[in-house]
Structure 1
Amino acid sequence: MSLERGPANGTETGPAVPSNGGEKPSALSRDEVFDILSNQRRRHALHFLKQRNGDGTELRELSTQVAAWENGKSAERVTSDERRRVYTSLQQFHLPKLDRNGIVEYDDRRGSVELAGEATDLDVYLDVVEESDVPWSQYYLGLSGLSLALFGVVSVEIYPLTLVPALAWGVLVALVFTVSALAHTYHDRRMRLGADGPPADLREP
């Protein structure tokens, strides 16, 4: 089944017809997860649903909040046209797609939606790296290199490093790695779908 992708705001057009006869898969593959999360509107919808801690919501409330994030305003200031565009997109394409994949339970007749079992496969964080930042992997690689260089210099007993005991240098390095790990953990939690506040890709650095 081919799809035509719309504007950059996450709109997709195309037939919302299940390709598997309506049967929901037992598990999501990595490609399916990436495909689902590649669309901004779906990410924002899932972010809001995860924030509700298992409680369902009405399609109108969901579309209002997603429209608010997309337009950079509060939910109270969303216009009827802004909400209608998101409402139609979620109703006709995105929610049926998520329902077919077992991620949400969507009742089109009642206009209600809630997370389903496969949503646990989307318990990932979106690692948004600003142009002025470096990925965490490179950060830890650089930190390891500096630590090895420090130990090398300390081992040859170069003054004035000899004024500090070798054990103290080891404690310092361990402390730096501990603080870095805590900062990394905090960063990951903020970037996860369902974290407090707006979606990760809308937060200011």
Structure 2
Amino acid sequence: MALTEEAHAARDGPAEKRTGSEQGEIFDLLSNHRRRYAIHYCKREDEPVTLGDLAEHVAAWELDKEVETITSAERKRVYTSLQQTHLPTLERAEMIEFDDRTIELTENAKNLEVYLDVVPGDSIPWGVYYLGLSALGLLVMAGVWLEIVPTETVPALGWATLVVLGVAVSAIVHVVSSRRMRLGKVERPP
């Protein structure tokens, strides 16, 4: 995968200027969990890491185990895969510098968050949530205009304030949640 131009664009320009094929290459790069886990671990450590430590943590996350309980066979399987496939792919994309034992993130890797909107399996995407919230707000406001919603107890401005407050609280929760779910920000990768 040749992302040299994309890597420069990620460093030098906003995401809106990328073509669909360039974004597709980034999504392809991030589609593999081992590559995402490698980036997550390197971001979390914020310094060069050894291939051995990276392999242990990736294996532990994959198997939902503690690092101390990983067997040498489990570690070796991940070590080999990282060394032969995933780290060279990340290096060709200029996301890491890899010298067969040490891995260090490049500046290009810092711009990957724009491509990751992590949504837990038991949740709905934020876009769908905001669409529903907008529909609810429009229903309330239509009810006020059509005088279906009582305005004696709560004035029309009060209903509008409640709708705007709902959107504002949702936006705050969204921002906090998104920042918490970034690669490298929590112990286990999202």
TM-score between both structures, scaled by the size of structure 2? 0.83
Q: How far has the Cα of 1:159 moved from its partner? A: 6.6
Q: How far has the Cα of 1:158 moved from its partner? A: 4.1
Distance between the aligned counterparts of 1:158 and 1:34, measured in 2?
A: 47
Match of 2:77 among 81, 85, 100: 85
Deviations 1:63-102 (A, max 9, x none): 1100110111111111111111111111111111111111
Unaligned runs of 5+ in 2: 8-21
Residue identity opposite 2:61 in structure 1:
W
Q: How far has the Cα of 1:193 moved from its partner? A: 1.6
Distance between the aligned counterparts of 1:154 and 1:78, measured in 2?
A: 61
Report the structure, 1 or 2, having the larger helix content.
2
Match of 1:187 among 161, 177, 183: 177
Q: Is the counterpart of residue 27 in structure 1 residue 18 in structure 2?
A: no
Residue 144 of structure 2 contacts residue 150 of structure 2 at CA under 8 Å; is this kept in 1? no
Q: Is the counterpart of residue 152 in structure 1 residue 131 in structure 2?
A: no
Query: In 2 relative to 1, CA 26–117 (structure 1 residues): closer, same or farther, beyond 3 Å?
Result: farther
Query: In 2 relative to 1, CA 170–48 (structure 1 residues): closer, same or farther, beyond 3 Å?
Result: same
Identity of aligned residues (%): 46
The within-5 A match list for 1:41-190 is 41-53=34-46, 55-108=47-100, 111-124=101-114, 125-128=116-119, 130=121, 133-158=123-148, 160-190=150-180
Match of 1:38 among 23, 31, 44: 31
Q: How far has the Cα of 1:129 moved from its partner? A: 5.0
TM-score between both structures, scaled by the size of structure 1? 0.77
Of structures 1 and 2, the one with the larger relative CO (CA 8 A, separation 6+) is 2
Residue 140 of structure 2 contacts residue 149 of structure 2 at CA under 8 Å; is this kept in 1? no
Number of equivalenced pairs: 175
The CA RMSD over aligned residues, in Å, is 2.0
Residue identity opposite 2:36 in structure 1:
R
